[in-house]
Structure 1
C-alpha cells in the first residue's frame, strides 16, 4: 500500500504542476482543460490520501514486500454477477445522457431516468429473487 500511495502522490502532484503550467501557457483563458487537469490532480491526491490512511489499519501488503510473488495477490476480490443484465441499461443511459448533452434536454432527461432505474436495479440485484442474501 505504501508503494501505491507514493505513486498516486506523484501523479497528483504532477497534474497540479501541469495544470498550473498549462494555465500560464494559455494565460488562464481556456476553461475546459485547466479545471479538468486540476480535477485529475485532486482525484489522484484524494486516492493517495485514502490509500495512505487505510494503510495504517493493515499490515504489510504484497506490493510492499521486496521478495513478493504475484501469487500473493490471490484471493477473493468481491462478488460479481456474470449473468447480470443491468450494465446494458446503464450503458444505454450513459449514451443517451451524452447524446442529450449534444442534441436536446429531453434526451438527457430520458437518459438520467434510465440511469436511475439501471443503477437501482444493479445495486439491489442481490436483494431479490434467486440470489438474495
Structure 2
C-alpha cells in the first residue's frame, strides 16, 4: 500500500504544478482555489494511507504482503473482514438520502423528513450487529 500513498503524493505534486501554471496563465481565482483544494485532498489521502501503512507494519512486525517483493499471491489469502450478507439497512439509507435530495427540489419539509430517516437508518446500520444491553 505504500505505492498508493506515493501515487497520491505524486498527484498532489502534479496538482501543485498545474495550479501554479493555471494561476500564472489565467489569473482566475476560482480555478486556482479548486486546484489548491485538490492539492490538499490528494495530500491528505496520501498522508492517511502512508500513516496507516506505517501503523500496520508495526503491528505485523514487517512489511505488508503487498509491499513485499518476495511475496506470493497466497500471502493475501484469508479473511478480509466481515460483510453483512443480508442487511437491508444500506437500502434504507440510500432511500433516505434520495428523500433528502428530492426534498431540496420539492420542499424543505421533505429534507427534514429525509434527514431524520438518514439518522435513523445510519443508527440501524451501525448497530445492526451490536450485542449489548440495547441489542435489537
TM-score category of the 2 structures, normalised to the smaller one: 0.7 to 0.9
User: Who wins on radius of gyration, i.e. which is larger?
Assistant: 2
Instruction: Give distance in 2, aligned partners of 1:113 and 1:19.
Output: 40
1:47, distance to aligned residue in structure 2 (A): 2.0
C-alpha separation in 2, matches of 1:6 and 1:87 = 33
- Shift of the 17–100 alpha-carbon distance from structure 1 to 2, 3 Å rule, reads farther
Give the alignment's Cα RMSD to 1 decimal: 2.9
Count of matched residue positions in the alignment of Structure 1 and Structure 2: 127
TM-score for the superposition, normalised by structure 1 = 0.73
Q: How many Å apart are 1:96 and its aligned residue?
A: 1.5
The match for 2:52 is 54
Partner of 2:127: 124
Larger deviation: 106-115 or 84-93?
A: 106-115
Q: 1:28 — aligned with what?
A: 29
The 5-angstrom pairing of residues 1-133 of structure 1 reads: 1-18=1-18, 25=26, 27-29=28-30, 34-35=33-34, 37-57=35-55, 58=57, 59-128=62-131
The 1:22–1:65 alpha-carbon spacing in structure 2 relative to 1, beyond 3 Å, is same
CA distance in 2, matches of 1:15, 1:22: 10
Q: Structure 1 residues 42 and 70, CA, compared in 2 at 3 Å: closer, same or farther?
A: farther
More off after superposition, 100-109 vs 78-87: 100-109
Extract unaligned runs of 5+ from structure 1: none
Q: What's the TM-score once normalised by structure 2's chain length?
A: 0.72
Q: d(CA) in 2 for partners of 1:84 and 1:41?
A: 37
